[in-house]
Structure 1
Amino acid sequence: MPGGAPGAGAVYSDGVVFYASGSGSAGRLTAQQITGEEKPEKWAVEYAGSDATLLAGDGRVVAVGSGIQVFDASSGRKLPGVGEEDTECAHPLLVDGDLICVARDGLTVTDTSAPGGRRSLAGGMAGAMKPAVTADGTVVVSAPGEVRAFRLRDGEELWYHVDTLLDEKAGNVSIVGDRAFVHEAITVTPYDLDGSGENPPGAGKLFDMPIGGTPPSLIAHGDALFLASPDDGRVLSGFAP
């Protein structure tokens, strides 16, 4: 980065890295070209949200913090956003211009080209974890005791699984091929994406890793799974269940 200063929350889209630096009134949001021979700085704008989550895609940069700020990815021009009083956005995802957020009672979907228009998805799923979205627009989300799939376009529920024996369990979702993997602590459980109605899980996989401490992170690629522990740096790999 210019001057050797590290950038926070960097995200990549179409050959450009967008990152925040500085703080308060001295903060900046920068677009840095990383392809081609010249690799110029495309633009930099004043930015007071260095602790926000950045997302990029569909010609926009979206910063989710105390409010939702939207920038034009080619020029840095600020576009209409969402005020602080309207913001409830945990675990944000940006999919084809739609900003998907976890709220208190399910998910919300905001069209970043018209941020005043927001709709609800997965209503009643309190305590939801980070969802995942397939290439054809299926949203899979886990909350304590349940996993559900919805069509992003119109919100129709496609399948579900409710397990009252696991009322305190929920996990982040990863999409790999034709399955969704729900990752909770050291277990990974698969669900068929083409299921309908009640969709029971397949046989899960239990990783040989200590329980407790900071939850490990999952990276799924093809038939391989990698579980990384931030506490001791250990990374375990195995085949998907």
Structure 2
Amino acid sequence: MSNMSGSFALFVSGMRQIIPVAAAGIIDGIVFGLLARQAGLGVTEAVLFSLLVNAGSSQFAAVGLISQGIVGWPILLSTALLNARQLLYGLSLGPRFQGTPAWKLSLMAGTLNDETFALKATYLDAGGKPSLSFFAGASVVDYVIWNASTFAGAWFGAAFTQTEAYGLDFAFIATFLGFLAVNLLTSFHVKVAACTAAAACIGYALGGGTAAVIVGTLTAIVMGAVSDER
């Protein structure tokens, strides 16, 4: 009984702690729903997109390509490249869960995204005990908020078309800047962030958004691998 109550307490703790992070994504979800409708998707299609994919950046990229009339393998390739960072998220969390059954890890991986990883990494770095219950609670709330926001945006998308006029197109960028700000804990983190930003700008100038993500990610990986600083 004590184990069950402890697990439930951790589940509730995860739900509570993810709220500030997940709430920041409400505008992102609404904007995604709006953009999906503008790209020609119906309400059901937009909602299923978030329910099944659950990866904000790749969803935005895919909708951008669809709006340009691009379908098929370019969407699969670009979203796969954008989501390559998920492999790094898994590699970062995996050693903390040695001995955990694969099916449980697969469930956690299915809800692992930028928001939940940010919370989970911060929780573990602060000395929190690796807990699937805690992560499940956080993931449930994040998943519900993202999909409810997508539905709201898609529902009103037909009537609300000028997202840029209200600055809503910047919401997704602002969310990631918030994640970055709370994780700049050492001078090395600042150096990595600055070098990654510079590399991403060069990548964007040479090959667009996808190239910026790839170049920026590789820069951070290389700096982390070769440096003794942390």
Q: TM-score, normalised by structure 2?
A: 0.27
- Relative to its length, the structure with more strand (as a share) is 1
- Relative to its length, the structure with more helix (as a share) is 2
Higher relative contact order (CA 8 A, sep 6+): 2
Q: Which one has the largest radius of gyration?
A: 1
Q: TM-score, normalised by structure 1?
A: 0.26
